[in-house]
Amino acid sequence: MIVFLKMGGSLITDKFQPNTALSPTISRIGQEISRALKENESIQLVLGHGSGSFGHAAAEEYGIGEIIEKESQWHGFQKVWLSAKNLNHIVISELIQSGLPVVTFPPSSSIITRDKKIIHWNTAPIEYSIEHNLLPLIFGDVIFDEKRGGIILSTEALFLELAERIKPDLILLAGIEEGVWEDYKKKGKLLRTISPSNYQTLLPNITSANASDVTGGMESKVKIMMELVDKYPEIQVRIFSGDQPGNIYKALLGQEVGTLIKSK
């Protein structure tokens, strides 16, 4: 059973305080993952994490996101790269202390895009790491783009591409929200299921996060995951709160948490 698990930037950092990682939360997540893997040894896990107050804050400061038009923006490109790398180092350190055999694969060193579409990504090392019971880790990162110069790709966008090469059974997106709200501003009703039958009706009220998020927040997450389940109907996605202790453990073991996104 192959599972993709993303630890959202809102979950592992304080998104309102630049460059502030929530190390105790990351450590607790690592412990939950470790428990789940011990209870179900058939799980093959691919990990990802967002950039939170590291990459997003730097990207907003230097105007990096969709395109690089000025030579001066390349300095910002490097700053965003460095911020993402720094957070990745913290995540790796905490997860390894939880006993997880994590190996990181920085997207900036292996991916080339053309107009935001991935045209080159050597995923063989990721596949080999899975075969040998290691836990590959990817993350939102800056990418060199043949048409736009440089862009930022979210972990969800990376999962979408990776799903074509490594077919997961389940994708888990853990953030701080309980799931997808019918109306994000009111947060009155949590959606239990999103599918093509109700997606277009719900879309206007699925808005982005409060803090800086250059990759589009919840609206972008849902849109990309809808594209993924439409392309691969056998895959299911859950968006849920990893901030609630035990939820990541439960989700890995197949329990119902948050919002389910599926093709039918």
Residues facing 6 on adjacent strands = 48, 173
pLDDT in tens, 66-86: 888 888 889 889 999 999 999
pLDDT in tens, 195-222: 988 888 887 877 645 554 555 578 888 9
pLDDT in tens, 236-252: 999 999 999 999 999 99
Q: Which CATH class is domain 2-261?
A: alpha beta
**Torsion angle of the four alpha carbons 244, 129, 142, 34, in this order, in degrees rounded to the nearest 10:** 10
Mean pLDDT score of the chain: 91
Helix, strand, coil content of the chain in percent (nearest 5): 40, 25, 35
Residue 7 parent element (H or E): strand 2-7
**pLDDT for the residue 220:** 85
**pLDDT for the residue 200:** 83
**pLDDT for the residue 216:** 54
Q: Are the C-beta atoms of 16 and 53 separated by less than 8 Å?
A: yes
- Counting as low any pLDDT under 70, the low residues of the chain are 207-216
What residues does each domain of the chain span? Answer: 2-261
Kindly provide the b/e burial profile for residues 126-155, where b requires at least 16 CB atoms within 10 angstroms of the residue's own CB.
Answer: beebbeeeebbbbbbbbbbbeebbbbbbbb
Which tokens hold the place of 27?
């450590």
